[in-house]
Amino acid sequence: MSEGTKEPDGGEEKVVLKTHDGQEFTVDMATANQSGTLKNLLSEVGSSSNNPQVIPLPSSITSRVLGKVVEYCQRHAAGGGRRGGMQALEQFDEELVELDKDMLLDVTYAAAFLDVPRLLDLTSQAVADAIKNMSVEEVRHYFGVVSDFTEEEEKVIRSECPWAFE
């Protein structure tokens, strides 16, 4: 069944996304189709309103994270034609990725797993923006990356790029 197909009883096709922590998100097909992964899956299994397909999600995509992704997909399924046009949509995107680090990485992960390319662009850019203007120590702390340089190596790097550590 293709996107937007109405069923004989007039109900719209729905699909249920179920997170590992047991929450269910019922979304319409236009929303689900924002995700390449779901679109592929549903093109094979189909879904309907009285008998919606349930798709279980991996444990790394929590209900809080999925909520963000669904929010994005719903808004973008509606497109720029509603609620204030493209400008409002851009503002929505900007605000959507104002997240703390763990949430930002989790949503990035979910966008990659569910194959929502524009959301992945947004979150990847937000990760890059976070790195911008940080010092080396701040980057290490932010991402929980431990330096594995020897003392000698670190000394040389510091002498080459003293400003990177300020």
Pick between residue 90 and residue 102 the one whose CB is nearest to other proteins: 102
List, in sequence order, the alpha helices (H) in the chain: 29-32, 36-45, 63-78, 85-96, 101-113, 117-131, 136-143, 151-160
> Closest approach of Cβ 9 to other proteins, in Å?
15
Question: For residue 71, what are the contacts with CB-CB under 8 A and spacing of at least 6?
Answer: 96
**Interacting residue ranges for other proteins, rule: CB under 8 A:** 16, 18, 20, 41, 44-46, 50-60, 102, 105-106, 108-109, 112-113, 120, 124-125, 127-128, 131-136, 139-140, 143-149, 157-158, 160-161, 163-165
- Residue 4 burial (CB count, 10 A): 11
> Closest approach of Cβ 2 to other proteins, in Å?
14
Pick between residue 151 and residue 160 the one whose CB is nearest to other proteins: 160
> Closest approach of Cβ 154 to other proteins, in Å?
8
End-to-end CA distance of the chain: 57
Q: Which structure tokens are listed for 112? A: 């990659």
Compute the distance between CA of residue 119 and CA of residue 157 in angstroms, rounded to an integer.
35
> Closest approach of Cβ 124 to other proteins, in Å?
5
Pick between residue 58 and residue 84 the one whose CB is nearest to other proteins: 58
